[in-house]
Structure formats: structure tokens, C-alpha cells
Structure 1
Amino acid sequence: MLTKDFSFELPEELIAQLPTEERGASRMMVLDAPESGAETAASTASGANRYHRMVADIVDLLPANTVMVVNNSRVRRARLEATTRNGGTVEVLLLRHIHETGKGGCDGAWEVMLSKAKRRRPGEILGLPGDRQLEIRERQDSDSWLVTIQPGIDDDYLQQYGRVPLPPYIRRMHQDIDLDRYQTVYAETTGSVAAPTAGLHFTPEILSRIREKGIQLCSITLHVGLGTFLPVRAERITDHAMHREEYTISKETARAVEQARAAGRPVLAVGTTSVRALESSWQDDNTLATGAQSTDIFIYPGYRFRAVDMLFTNFHTPESTLLMLVSAFAGKERILAAYQEAVQLRYRFFSYGDAMLINRWSRPLLQNQP
């Protein structure tokens, strides 16, 4: 498969630049399981088993015995503005802290992305706010650098001086609204450089209704890293290398997913990050590996899913690894047809955009509506 096979035309005005006025007020396209368990090319083209709801309707659609897995990673205020000795400015994006001292403390080395990267050289010193200095040590790869920041910085420092790391397709400076809305309501463990955006739709009220219905809500922690910002540059998708991301799965979450799989109950992953963590940890004995782990899994059409039955996700960028993942989950032609309809119906795309619920489970979701 070629990267260009995952391209589609998207009018720029459909790229959401701001969140909806109220959290949870987005539209949701549903790609449901067919009655027969098999979908024909004709039904794919006609939009059979594809319908439109609002995000809050997910409570009525999901079976009461669903296990729902969310990513509780918290976005770090990872953008800093540095200055060169000549008075120029360089934007620093903190990707990954390498050495830690104490709980929540960050000292020593960081992996970062730097603006105007071609001008940067090892040994260069940049000034940071709060009387810190950043020394460029060496290139990690074509996209990132290893640097040292002294004195060390922590999340309290970033709360004061850092900015929200909005993705590049949001063509504006961060605003106060992003401090709240570019964070899930259940975010706990700081470490991501981008939000697990599918979770941005959920409100405390929607989550309360989910629990009241009997749906089991579980969490994993996967810190979103560099790969979120990088395009697929390879012509053939199999030549693309994913960046490694760190994640943790608790014994409680693993047990809930394992029991659901054994009983034939559906497992819903909220976001592609939850999918990647669960699929990376699924073992041949039908259990999930637990504890702190890392993954560079690349999921594209032809992949056999073993842990996940349903996916709640946003609409993704053309030719991206995320679009390839959802194409693997739902079928490439089916996804591209759905995206074409989303464009026609003026859905909002990407991080602050609308949502999609994809069902691969054995029964259509419409059967669960009251």
C-alpha cells in the first residue's frame, strides 16, 4: 500500500480551530456492524450501517456490558520560547523527559523539537524564561534533539512559563480556553505533548450516565509523543517507522478487558492511543501484559485486532498513521467513503472536531437503543 492511497480532499474551513462552545456538543458519525456480519461493496458505497448522532447519544448506543477504556494522560505545557545569544527566538517543544529526580521533578536531559532546526548546532546555548539555559547536545534523528536544561525544570515551571502544545493545523496562538478544553476531564498523569483528543468530548455528566448504565470505565496511560506531529514521508507505508511511546496498563484494567473478551462482551477503546496500548499488550494466552511498557506498533490495513471491538475517535488528517489505523479497523474503502460524506455534511475535523464511533462487534449498536 502507498501513502497516497490514504489521501482525501479536505476544505481548510472544516479544520476546527476552536472547540465547540460546550464540551460534549459535537456530532458523531456511527459506522455500525452490519446485520449479516459482512458488508458488501454496494452497501459501503450507499452508506448502509452509517448514521449520524450527537456524542451524548453514545450512552444509548453502547451495550450495558461494554468495557470502555480511556487514556488518562495529561498534556504537559510543553512549548517554550527560547532566545539565542543574538536575540533571535527559537520555539522549543519538550517531547520526552529523560532523567527525573523525585516525584514530579524533571532535571537534566530532554528530547525536544526546535524551530529553525537547520540553524541549530551542538554546543549552542539558548536562554529560557526563569533564568534557565538550554544546551543543545546532539541530534537524536531528523526531527528531534537531545538537550540539557539547567537548572532543572518541573511541571510547576511549565505551568508558569509553558504554553499548550496545539497541533500545527490549528493556525492560531493558544488561548485561555485551551488550558481547559485541550485536556480531558479525566486527565491524571502528566506526560503527553498532544491531547488524546477523542476523550476531549466527554463531560462529567456523560461519564456519569455511562457508569449508571453499567458500562465499566477503565483507563490506561499512554503519553502521546513525537509521532503525532510527524507526517508519513515514505512512499510505501511499510517503510514508515513509528516513534516509540511509553504507556502503562494496570492490573484492574487488564482484568476487565480479559474478562470481557472471554465472555464475548464488547471492549470500546476511546482514541487510537488506547487501541495502540491494548493491542500492543495483548498476548497469545489471551491476557494483557501489565505495568510500564513502550510501543512502536504501526497498525494499518491487514492488521488483525485482538483486544478491541469498538473505537471512538476523531476524524484524522490525510495520509496519517491515525487514518491508516482506523482504516485497518473499519476497512479502507469504508473509511474513505465515510470521510467523503463527512466533508459533504460539513463535519468538523481533527483535534477540536467531531467524532466517529466504529463498531466491529458481533451485533449492531442500533439494537441497544431504547
Structure 2
Amino acid sequence: MDVNDFDFNLPEELIAQTPLLDRTASRLLILDKETGAMQDSAFTEIINELRSGDCLVLNDTRVMPARLYGVKEDTKAKIEVLLLKQLDDDKWETLVKPGKRVKVGTTIFFGDGLLTATCVGEAEHGGRILKMTYEGIFHEVLDELGEMPLPPYIKEQLDDQERYQTVFAKNRGSAAAPTAGLHFTTDLLEQIQQKGVHVAFITLHVGLGTFRPVNVESIEEHEMHSEFYQMSEGTSRLLNEVRGNGGKIIAVGTTSARTLETIMNENGAFCEASGWTSIFIYPGYTYKGVDGLLTNFHLPKSTLVMLVSALAGRENILQAYQHAIDRKYRFFSFGDAMFIR
């Protein structure tokens, strides 16, 4: 399958640069995955798309202030570091710019030496393994020195860093937000539960896969970066009960979908599990754990467009995206949402 089969022309002005004042004020495009029928709606109407006995699955990962700016010890050249994944003994897998200036043995200073990082190896896809040296608690140092790692297509500064966190963010470790969850408020989630809809949480820490484009013509040759996921025994028990009672499992975001599908593929049922997943979902894949998906609008030729195409069909998705473009929906992280039912 050719990567260009998932391309579309997106006007730059439709890329949302800032979040709406009210999280729930986004528009919602409802897409029937069987017929391709579409309906323009408001995000708050999601409550009317859910039935008592269904289950909404949310990713409770919390974004780290994972972008650091430092200088090389010897030349004082400026270096940008994005933390992706903690390994062991204060070692981190990172993306570094400019990468050619950081070789094994290079030391980088951050915050006048409050934190130093020494390159101890190279990672896949051009990344670097950095060994961190600091005093005290690493995440407290990171809170002082780091910045929220907004995607490169967002040019505006974020006044309130919490707007790039979901209201239910809890488990710190992500390099990017699970953006479909940004639309929810605590009040809306309470209203959904009052209707009899279950709300469950899983964790997937978003990593390099979010930042990597597909650089091969045949998508079957693309390799996904592994990301850490976790599901509790309580969540797995609830999901199995919902499925057994005929309820639908609605994944909020592609990260939740990838976690659910990983666990179903490996175990044949939902169960307490944790580990690393590099699952790549594209058309031809049969979903086993997800009945519906709430998601934002994604980049052309991205693995996320392929994932939603596997659920609703490539033609249905491309038609829905063109519909959204024609009606000037807002795209990407701070943009509007789509519900695939």
C-alpha cells in the first residue's frame, strides 16, 4: 500500500495554533464507519452518541516538560533536546538538534549546570542516549528547566501549559499529549457517567512515533517506535464486562486504540498488562478491542490517518477529511474532533 494513498491537501490556515477557551467548544464530525454518512455536530453532543452500558476509554498519561535547551560544554553551541523515553540509571532516549554536533562523549549543560547530559550512545532513527547528572529529584529539575513539547506545526506560545494536558492526566511520562482527550472537562465526564456510560483509564506514554513521518513509499516497510503502555486489572475487568453485556468500547484517541488492540492481540481478551508496543495499524487490520473511536484530525500521510482508515475505510476517511476542510474544521492537536461510530 502506497503512502501517497493517504495524502490530502490541507490549507495551512486550518491548523489550529491555540486551544479554545472552553475545552468542550470544539466542533464534532460524526462518521458512520459502515455507510460513510457524515453529520456536523458540536463536541458536547458526544454524550448523545454514547449509550448506557458503553465504555469510554481514556489515556491518563501526563506530558513531561520534555524539551530542554542547553549548550555544549566545549563550544557553547546551542543544543535542543527532546526527552522521549527513560531507560535506566538516569539514561534517556532523546531527539537532539542539531544531532551532528552531539557525538558519544559530548556533554551538554542546562540551566548553568543545574543539569548536565553526556551522550553515551546512539539510538534508532537518529536519536541519542543521554546520561543525566543532577542533584535532587530529576522531575523537579525538569519542571524548572523544561518546556512543554508542543508539535512543530504549532507556532504560537502556550500561555497556560495545562491546556496541553488532559484534565485527567496523571501518569507522567509522555512526550506529547493524547490530544483527543483535550476536549473533555470534568463536568462533561460526570454527565457522561450519569447517563450510565462507564469511564475507564489506560496509560500509553506517547514517544517518537508521534514525531516521525513515514519516509517509505510502501507503508508495510514503515517501523513504529515502541511506546510504554499499561492497563490495570480493574480496567480490564470492566472492559470484559462491558463487552460481555453487549456494550460498545469507545477509544478516546489513537493512543487508547493502540493500547486496547495491543492487549487484545497478545491475550485474546482484556487483562492486566504492561509493556512496550510498536503496533502499526493500517487498512487490512481487523479491530478486536475497539468499537468506536473519538479522535482529532491528523496529518496527511501519517500513521494516524492510516489507523483511522483501518477502522472506517480509506475512502470514507478521505471524504470525511475533505468535508472537514470544505467546512473549515480546525485540524491537529488543538483542533476539532471526529467520532467514528
Question: With structure 1 as the length reference, what TM-score do the two structures score?
Answer: 0.88
1:279-358 aligned within 5 A: 279-283=261-265, 286-358=268-340
Amino acid at match of 2:69: E
1:133 corresponds to? 116
1:165 corresponds to? 149
| Offset of residue 285 of structure 1 | 6.8
2:126 corresponds to? 143
2:75 corresponds to? 86
2:189 corresponds to? 207
2:47 corresponds to? 59
Amino acid at match of 1:163: E
| Distance (Å, rounded) in 2 between the aligned partners of 1:285 and 1:29 | 33
| Offset of residue 251 of structure 1 | 1.0
| Offset of residue 234 of structure 1 | 0.8
| Distance (Å, rounded) in 2 between the aligned partners of 1:53 and 1:175 | 27
| Offset of residue 97 of structure 1 | 1.2
**How many residues get paired?**
338
| Distance (Å, rounded) in 1 between the aligned partners of 2:100 and 2:76 | 17
Match of 2:10, SS?
coil
Match of 1:116 among 94, 98, 112: 98
| Offset of residue 284 of structure 1 | 7.6
| Offset of residue 65 of structure 1 | 1.4
1:18 corresponds to? 18
Is 1:268 aligned with 2:268? Answer: no
Say whether the 8 Å CA contact 1:192–1:223 is kept in structure 2: yes
1:362 corresponds to? none
| Offset of residue 151 of structure 1 | 2.2
| Distance (Å, rounded) in 2 between the aligned partners of 1:212 and 1:271 | 22
Is 1:72 aligned with 2:91? Answer: no
| Distance (Å, rounded) in 2 between the aligned partners of 1:283 and 1:239 | 20
| Offset of residue 259 of structure 1 | 1.7
| Distance (Å, rounded) in 2 between the aligned partners of 1:351 and 1:285 | 32
1:216-227 aligned within 5 A: 216-227=198-209
| % identical equivalent positions | 44
Residue 284 and residue 90 in structure 1: after superposition, are their counterparts in 2 closer, same or farther (change >3 A)? closer
Say whether the 8 Å CA contact 1:283–1:289 is kept in structure 2: no
Say whether the 8 Å CA contact 2:62–2:170 is kept in structure 1: yes
| Offset of residue 220 of structure 1 | 0.2
Say whether the 8 Å CA contact 2:110–2:145 is kept in structure 1: no
2:4 corresponds to? 4
Runs (4+) off by over 6 Å: none
- Aligned alpha-carbon RMSD (Å): 1.4
1:233-244 aligned within 5 A: 233-244=215-226
My pick for the range that moved more, 120-129 or 1-10, is 120-129
| Offset of residue 120 of structure 1 | 2.1
Deviations 1:310-351 (A, max 9, x none): 100000000000000000011000000000010000000000
Match of 2:286, SS?
coil
| Offset of residue 210 of structure 1 | 0.5
Question: With structure 2 as the length reference, what TM-score do the two structures score?
Answer: 0.96
Match of 1:142, SS?
helix
Say whether the 8 Å CA contact 1:258–1:286 is kept in structure 2: no
Deviations 1:242-271 (A, max 9, x none): 001111001111111112222221100000
Match of 1:342, SS?
helix
| Distance (Å, rounded) in 1 between the aligned partners of 2:246 and 2:275 | 27
Gaps of 5+ in 2: none
1:365 corresponds to? none
| Offset of residue 154 of structure 1 | 1.6
| Distance (Å, rounded) in 1 between the aligned partners of 2:166 and 2:104 | 37
Deviations 1:81-134 (A, max 9, x none): 0102322211110111112xxxxxxx5211111011123211111111153221
Is 1:197 aligned with 2:179? Answer: yes
Gaps of 5+ in 1: 100-106, 360-370
My pick for the range that moved more, 8-17 or 283-292, is 283-292
| Offset of residue 4 of structure 1 | 0.8
Match of 1:80, SS?
strand
Deviations 1:15-66 (A, max 9, x none): 0110012111100000025xxxx53xxxx4xxxx210111111112211111
Match of 1:294, SS?
strand
| Offset of residue 283 of structure 1 | 5.0
My pick for the range that moved more, 118-127 or 280-289, is 280-289
Match of 2:23, SS?
coil
